[in-house]
Amino acid sequence: MITVSDGVSAGTREDRSGPALQGLLRNAEFEVSGPEVVPDKQERICDAIAAAVVGGADLVVTTGGTGLGPRDVTPQATSMLIDYEVPGLGELMRRAGASSTPMAALSRGLAGVRGHSLILNVPGSMRGATESLEAVLPVLGHAIQLLHGNTRHE
Establish if 154 belongs to a structural domain.
no
Q: Over the stretch 29-58, which tens digit does the pLDDT of each residue have? A: 999 998 999 999 999 999 999 999 999 999
Establish if 101 belongs to a structural domain.
yes
* Model pLDDT, residue 154: 57
* Model pLDDT, residue 54: 97
Query: How far, in Å, CA of 29 to CA of 63, rounded?
Result: 20
> Residue 111's closest CA among 56, 66, 47?
66
* Model pLDDT, residue 153: 65
Computed over every residue of the chain, the mean pLDDT equals: 95
Query: How far, in Å, CA of 114 to CA of 50, rounded?
Result: 9
* Number of domains the chain contains: 1
Query: How far, in Å, CA of 1 to CA of 49, rounded?
Result: 9
Among the residue ranges 32-36, 84-88, 108-112, the one predicted with the least confidence is 32-36
| pLDDT > 70: percent of the chain | 99
CA distances from 110 to 38, 94, 146 (A): 18, 10, 19
Query: How far, in Å, CA of 114 to CA of 83, rounded?
Result: 5
Residue type, 121: N
Establish if 153 belongs to a structural domain.
no
Establish if 117 belongs to a structural domain.
yes
* 107 within 8 A of 128, measured Cβ to Cβ: yes
Establish if 83 belongs to a structural domain.
yes
Q: Over the stretch 113-136, which tens digit does the pLDDT of each residue have? A: 999 999 999 999 999 999 999 999
Specify the CATH number for the domain of residue 53.
3.40.980.10
Establish if 152 belongs to a structural domain.
no
* 125 within 8 A of 13, measured Cβ to Cβ: no
Establish if 126 belongs to a structural domain.
yes
* Model pLDDT, residue 36: 95
- Half-sphere exposure in the Cβ direction for 133 (13 Å, CA): 31
> pLDDT category, 150, cuts 50, 70, 90?
confident
Peptide bond into 35 cis (omega under 30): yes
* Model pLDDT, residue 34: 86
Q: Over the stretch 64-75, which tens digit does the pLDDT of each residue have? A: 999 999 999 999
DSSP category for residue 28: T
Q: What is the Rg, in whole angstroms, of the alpha carbon atoms belonging to the chain?
A: 14
Domain residue limits at 141: 2-147
CA distances from 137 to 14, 40, 108 (A): 25, 26, 19
